[in-house]
Amino acid sequence: MCVIKAENLTKWFNGFVAVDHISFSMNQGELFGLLGPNGAGKTTVINMLSTLLKPTSGYAEVAGFNISKNKDDVRGSIGIVFQELALDNRLTGRENLEFHAMMYGMGKEERRKRIKEVLELVELTDKTDVLVEKYSGGMKRRLEIARGLVHKPKVLFLDEPTLGLDAQTRRHIWDYIKKLNKGSEIAIILTTHYMEEADYLCDRVAIIDHGKIVALNTPNKLKDVLGGDVVSLEVERSIEDLMSHLKNLKWVKMIKKHNGFLNLTMEKGEKRIPELINIAQKIGIIVSSVNLRKPSLEDVFLHFTGKTIREQETSHNERSREKMRRRMMRR
């Protein structure tokens, strides 16, 4: 059964397009990831699907309800964990959950039972009556995940669920997400700019850049697109020469220049390395380092967008700084 269907979803903000004709669908029980750099439009997609933002154009259904026409029905069938914390610090953990459950119209007995369940799931049972302002960052996140689940939603939205958490806490959160996806029919859609996160958690990943989905598949199939291993050669000069020599080899599936490295994809990379170095030597080019790896989603991202996620984020930050500067000048 299809729980989210988006068709040409688009959002403009003051003359700039944040989300550009995005279409995808996801099924019940699926763990679906939107992977992309900051500013790619992931949060805007989530905000539109959760009825907080009106789409400029396009259409979407969540749990069978139209996000523009049946807002309250959509709201009743989803749970959401926002990128920024959205807890009331002056209330205890239990009070935050009680507030939530009552807003969703749950009865007293049902509330009590369900709150106990979700608190056990995220292992916060012994902290329920502590004010949230005393919680650590990881505990707040876990409480929010628990809250998103209290009213038994059909779809759970997680917007950058591990942003700003240390590596160990991140692992922990990943385990909770895996655990709750395994045992139930709940569909989870998460956004992230961490490659490992998308790779480790998601059944399918949509790579999103500049408001567009550039690729969508299972992590393994996305990596298969590159066709085998990635070999990176570092050469001091005449990188173009080497590139034109290697381009015509039959077993080199793809070749790309990036930041002084030559990235080649091929099968059985470890066997081909001596050959590569031989060719370079023959034309008088010295290879200063070689790196062989199985392709990661980072390589996939690089393949589809021509940049790594980090570079894309830097250039995005520069763009927004530039915009800010211009705005300041106008004042």
Partner 1 sequence: MIKVKSINSTAIYVLWLREMKRFVRAKSRVIGTLAMPLFFLAFLGLGFNNMSIPGMSKDIDYIRFLVPGIIGMTMLFTSMFAGISVLWDREFGFLKEIMVTPVNRVSIVLGRIAGGTTTALIQGLLILGISLLMGFKIIGISSLLLSIVFMLMIATTFIGLGLIFASKMKDIHGFSLIMNFVIFPLFFLSGALFPLGNLPFYIRYISYIDPLTYGVDGLRGTLIGVSSFSIIFNFIILVGFSLMMVLLGAYFFEKSESV
Of the listed pieces 23-31, 86-94, 278-286, 303-311, which binds partner 1 according to CB under 8 A?
Answer: 86-94
Q: Does 95 bind partner 1 (CB under 8 A)?
A: yes
- What sign does the CA torsion over 148, 152, 153, 155 have? positive
Residue 69, SS3? coil
**Residue with smaller CB distance to partner 1, 144 or 299:** 144
Q: Look at residues 199, 208, 218, 161 and name the one whose alpha carbon lies nearest to residue 37.
A: 208
Classified as helix, coil or strand, 116 is helix
Query: According to CB under 8 A, which one of 7, 57, 88, 137 is a site residue for partner 1?
Result: 88
Q: How far is the CB of 76 from partner 1 (least distance, A)?
A: 4
3-class secondary-structure state, position 65: strand
Calpha distance 58→294 (Å, rounded): 38
How many residues sit in the footprint of partner 1 (CB under 8 A)?
A: 30
Q: Binding residue for partner 1 (CB under 8 A) from 27, 66, 89, 244?
A: 89
**Binders in 37-66 for partner 1, by CB under 8 A:** 47, 50-54
Pick from 2, 57, 105, 275 the residue near partner 1 by CB under 8 A.
Answer: 105
Q: Which of 28, 56, 64, 73 is close enough to bind partner 1 by CB under 8 A? A: 73
DSSP conformational letter for 84: S
Residues 6+ apart with CB under 8 A from 315: 307
Least distance to partner 1, CB of residue 264, Å: 44
Taking the complex as a whole, the smallest distance from the CB of residue 228 to partner 1 amounts, in Å, to: 43
Q: Mask of contacts with partner 1, 119-158, x by CB under 8 A? A: ----------------------------x-----------
85 binds partner 1 (CB under 8 A): yes
Q: How far is the CB of 55 from partner 1 (least distance, A)?
A: 13
Cβ 100 to partner 1 shortest distance, Å: 7
User: Rounded to an integer, what is the distance from CA 151 to the centroid of its chain?
Assistant: 24
Separation between Cα atoms, residue 210 and residue 39, nearest integer Å = 8
Widest distance between CA atoms in the chain = 79
Burial code (b: 16+ CB inside 10 Å, e: under 16) for 118-128 equals bbebbebeebb
Minimum distance of partner 1 from residue 151's CB (angstroms): 9
Q: Which is nearer to partner 1, 45 or 198 (CB)?
A: 45
Q: Which of 12, 59, 104, 200 binds partner 1 (CB under 8 A)?
A: 104
Find the binder of partner 1 among 1, 86, 283, 324 (CB under 8 A): 86
Is residue 76 close enough to count as binding partner 1 by CB under 8 A?
A: yes
User: Of 94 and 223, which CB lies nearer to partner 1 in the complex structure?
Assistant: 94
Q: Is 234 in the site for partner 1 (CB under 8 A)?
A: no
Within 10 A of 37 (CB to CB), how many other CB atoms are there? 24
Q: Return the ∠ at Cα 3 (arms to 55 and 119), rounded to 5°.
A: 100
How many Å apart are CA 148 and CA 81, to the nearest integer?
6
271 vs 117: CA distance, rounded Å: 53
By the 8 A CB rule, do 32 and 188 touch? Answer: yes
Tell me the β-bridge partners of 259.
none
> Of the two residues 44 and 181, which places its CB atom closer to partner 1 in the complex?
44
Name the site residues for partner 1 (rule: CB under 8 A): 47, 50-54, 72-73, 75-76, 78, 80, 82, 84-91, 95, 98-100, 102-105, 147
